[in-house]
Structure 1
Amino acid sequence: MNPQSASPLLRLSQATLARVRDGVAVPAYDRDATRIGIVHFGPGAFHRAHQAAYIDDLLGTDPAWAISAVSLHSAGVRDALRPQDGLYTLALPGDARADASASDGAPRLRVIGSIRELLCARDEAAAVLARLADRDVRLVTLTITEKGYCLSADGVDLQHPDIVHDLAAPEAPASAPLSAPLSTIGWLVAGLRLRRARGFEPYTVLSCDNLADNGGRLRRAVLQFARELERDRADQGLADWIESEVAFPRSMVDSITPATDDALRAQVASRLGVEDAWPIQREPYAQWVVEDDFRNGRPPLERAGVVLSNEIAGYDRAKLRLLNAPHSTLAYLGSLMRIETVADAMREPALAGFVERLMREDIVPTLQLPRGFDPDAYIDAILARFRNPAIRHLLAQIAWDGSQKIPVRLLGTIADALAAGRPLERLCLPVAGWLRFVRRQAREGVAIVDPLADTLARIGAATTGEASHDVDAFLTLDSVFGALAGDARFVDALARAHARLGDATPAAVARALAD
């Protein structure tokens, strides 16, 4: 047959689901029998790869928890998936060396059916508010990134333009909607306000973004917004009602979700036999830990492998220090060695061995771990994830925003080690690696992706390579180093680590790692 005469593939949808080829998992439940019980703000790749997949596992036994996916401003996800009835493909690339089910290196494919509705708040405000006020909706979840919350240090940022707009909405009766909010906080409060006026129970609000104390911070922001909103309005008591009736459980999520590209779209289409406008991919590993603090019912999350725990802070800290800190270590020391990806970095014996020793010997002793948490098994799983060549995780991307990441990923551990009188040598080497990385980028004229980019470029360009001089220059960054800059033990250890890196060539870094 002439290839040019071949018919184009049909689009993935409920009507074409039966055409999906063997070997691809499809929803094993009647989607028409499900009801929307969750509204999710921010249906980007991570949500669709993570929470939506967990919920998909539950709908066969509890059909009350299908998802209405709401984008605040961009219609891209809605326009791609609405013609597909919310269906999309999740690809799970495995490591062919360890996954017999993917011996040819091809990812396992699964069609996810848990998203039953897609809305864009920008031009479908009435539908979004109606869904939030729907009595069947008992849970609102969010993956909107930290900046999407419009937070201040202690609550909501009252100067943020979207918050200013939402608080200036014209006065309306409590039973009527305000003008369409721009912020997620505004939407949450608008929905709760309408439910209270109608005598409905509130929904639980669950943040699934990687923010420390995410539920607590969101609760404080919502309460502050509600108190500002109710001034001089007819619905006094809204904030008190939210404070007493609405739950904001904390959570922790983890899984690497690389971006979708045309190669993935083509690969998925060839395997599916139908076209998917927006498939996504995710590493096989996924973790979701949720504080068991819900009102008005909750999905049976534990059936899908979600850990329900009241020790979220311990899980958060373990992830931050045992996953994120090693990631940054690989990013800065690996970049100095001219390595491109995490998997490539883990093929360098000196670097891989250093990271493992750092985790087991220097980081674990600083942690207060949740009950039943096995640090050795957790480290083993992280190292296996790092080594997976099917996940192309760029060190250059992990290296972004070092001034924000270094304090929470490494300096907190260093402060705890100082308090306990523990050695600092290994812990300071990745911090010194960041200093040398900034210096190299500045001197080579490469843009530094960081909120402090201009300051870092200026410091990096003025460094000499001499340890004491360069360390002193960086320690002027009070927002990064804080009180540690005045601790002679830390300053000396950082200077020694800086000196160990020598001229920071790949060979010099390899020698430093082996010392």
Structure 2
Amino acid sequence: MNKLSYKTLEQMGYDGYLLKDAPEKVLQFGEGNFLRAFVDYFFDMANEKCGFNGKVVLCQPIAPGLSKMINEQEGLYTLYLRGFENGQKVNAKRIISAVSRCINPYEDYKALLECAHNPDLRYLASNTTEAGIAYDPACKFDDEPPASFPGKLTRFLYERFEAYGKEKGKGFVILSCELIDNNGQELRKCVHQYIDQWGLSEEFSKWVDEENLFCSTLVDRIVTGYPRAEAAALNEENGYEDNLLDTGEVFGFWVIEGPEWLEEELPFKKANLPILVTRDHTPYKKRKVRILNGAHTTMVLAAYLAGQNIVRNCMQDEVIKGFMNKALYEEIIPTLTLPKEELMEFAAAVADRFNNPFIDHALLSIALNSTSKWKARVMPSFKAYVENEGKLPACLTMSLAAYIAFYSCNVQSLNDEALMCKRPAGDEYAVKDDRPVLEFYYAHKDDDAKTLAEAVLSNESFWGEDLTKVAGLTEAVTRDLETIRTEGAYAAMKSVQ
């Protein structure tokens, strides 16, 4: 079987959309599954739908990486987007041809710097993991390359400045996709730290700020990556060998913070893609965290204690689904400020995403670090509801009791990695969280419901405040925890609907 390439596709008589030759308009730091199923997919669609006519050149951010594999396939790969959309099952396949090549700067640093001399290059995109946007003072200007991503970027920007610093409009639109708050501005701060450390000119510093736009962005798509179990069958079906197969969910949404002119310049609006340019991305981040992530954290711990293992199966159970929906529509959405129609539409998409038949999303994987997750994802909705309504939200309060129950259900032992507990059905599971959290629950493993509820709610290291001061919360959580312990989590979820 021949490897995927333009020649292979020509020999097969492939008649789908391909763009073999076009100027490189995008430099992307990162070559992993997510960027290829998200950023590169969107630029590929823009090429087809509105004639963007641009290629993406990838830069491998760390060694080792995928550069050799990508170049062997001439940047081509097959992307499957699968799931439910508007209640309909979707399994869409597309060969992505937006990528031109992948540079390994650890083997050919000169090739990366040469990109800065390309007059067509306009956009820089990145996803170098949450740890990628970090200032490392060990990086030097003359390193080939600097180890950190911001170090590489600063050196690259300086190369551009040296080549085109006297010309207007030769800076970049920088689209940071790392999963940290205000990712674009945090990246800009790191760049300026290197400018100061390396003693670069005031003129260059001014150029960085005036000729480059650092955009904070919010990305939203579950990317499941290389389908190892299906790869052989998919390659056989396609008639070519593709070592870069990629998979993700159908849903995708990209919020880019920037001025009004950026929406017209970027190719995505013309291509009618689910990408929003806005002056402030924070309401959309809040929507995602509180609705999508909040629904997960609200539901999964009780559902796991009730015997479920996968998110999709929870959506087939009317009690669990009803519990989640009541939390979403009656307790979370009313606390948000975006137009109600947008919030309802997003919540409906969440239901489709949770019901995805192609993704076995394990409840235990979502349960990782649930203490900080409940604080970040659920507590803001909980507190806003109490403030707005003057009473406790029944489902969110129950989710807090379920969190306590999950961390204290038939505690067996504490090892170096996890707190070992047992579900009511008798199977053992590992609770994974920060060490002080696990030690706290192990120390309280024999507490009755009231004592444990008081200890957890008053623990300011968990919540940043003493939650026993919320009127009626200790009593309500104690009552819900006792229900879970005596009647089961399923009955407890049913009791609040």
Q: Same fold by TM-score, threshold 0.5 exceeded? A: yes
Deviation at residue 280 of structure 1 after TM alignment: 0.9
Aligned-partner residue type, residue 252 of structure 1: L
Given the alignment of the two structures, is residue 184 of structure 1 paired with residue 165 of structure 2, yes or no?
no
| Contact in 1 for aligned 2:132/2:178 (Cα 8 Å) | no
Q: Which amino acid aligns with 1:67?
A: V
- Selected match of 2:76 from 73, 87, 91: 87
How many aligned positions are there? 471
C-alpha distance in 1 between matches for 2:232 and 2:461: 45
> Post-superposition shift, 1:51?
1.3
Counterpart in 2 of 1:456? 437
Which residue does 2:6 correspond to in 1? 14
Superposed, 1:11-410 pairs within 5 Å as 11-19=3-11, 26=16, 28-32=17-21, 34-60=22-48, 61-95=50-84, 98-99=87-88, 107-150=91-134, 156=135, 163-166=136-139, 168-169=140-141, 179-200=144-165, 201-230=170-199, 233=200, 235-293=201-259, 298-302=265-269, 303-305=271-273, 306-369=275-338, 374-410=342-378
**Offset of residue 374 of structure 1:** 2.1
TM-score by length of 1: 0.84
Distance 1:355 1:470, change over 3 A: same
Q: What SS does the corresponding residue of 2:214 show, helix, strand or coil?
A: coil
Q: Is the 8 A contact 2:458 2:465 kept in 1?
A: no
Answer 1 or 2: which has greater strand percent.
Answer: 2
127-136 or 36-45, which deviates more: 127-136
Deviations 1:346-366 (A, max 9, x none): 112111101011010000111
What fraction of aligned residue pairs are identical, expressed as a percent?
Answer: 22
Instruction: Label 1:227 to 1:414 Cα distance change in 2 as closer, same or farther (>3 A).
Output: farther
Name the CA distance, whole Å, in 2 between partners of 1:66 and 1:79: 18
In the TM superposition, residue 443 of structure 1 has moved relative to its aligned partner by: 4.2
Q: Which runs of 4+ in 1 moved over 6 A?
A: 294-297
Judge which range, 461-470 or 112-121, deviates more.
461-470
Alignment RMSD, CA only? Answer: 2.7
Q: For 1:254 and 1:276, how far apart are their aligned partners in 2?
A: 26
Query: Which of 474, 478, 481 in structure 2 is aligned with 1:499?
Result: 481
Structure 2: unaligned runs, 5 residues or longer: 412-418, 422-427
- In the alignment, the residues of structure 1 paired with residue 293 and residue 351 of structure 2 have an alpha-carbon distance, to the nearest angstrom, of 12
Match of 1:174 in 2: none
> What TM-score does the superposition give when structure 2 sets the normalisation length?
0.87
In structure 2, the residue matched to 1:5 is none
Would the aligned equivalents of 2:84 and 2:353 in 1 still touch at CA under 8 Å? no
Which stretch has the larger CA shift, 357-366 or 305-314? 305-314
Gaps of 5+ in 1: 1-8, 151-155, 157-162, 171-177
User: Residue 424 of structure 1 contacts residue 493 of structure 1 at CA under 8 Å; is this kept in 2?
Assistant: no
| Cα separation, 2, equivalents of 1:462 and 1:285 | 43
Q: Distance in 2 between matches of 1:109 and 1:127?
A: 32
Question: Cα offset for 1:240?
Answer: 3.2
Cα distance in 2 for partners of 1:367, 1:198 equals: 47
Report the Cα offset of residue 21 of structure 1.
Answer: 7.7
What secondary structure is seen at the aligned counterpart in 2 of 1:281? strand
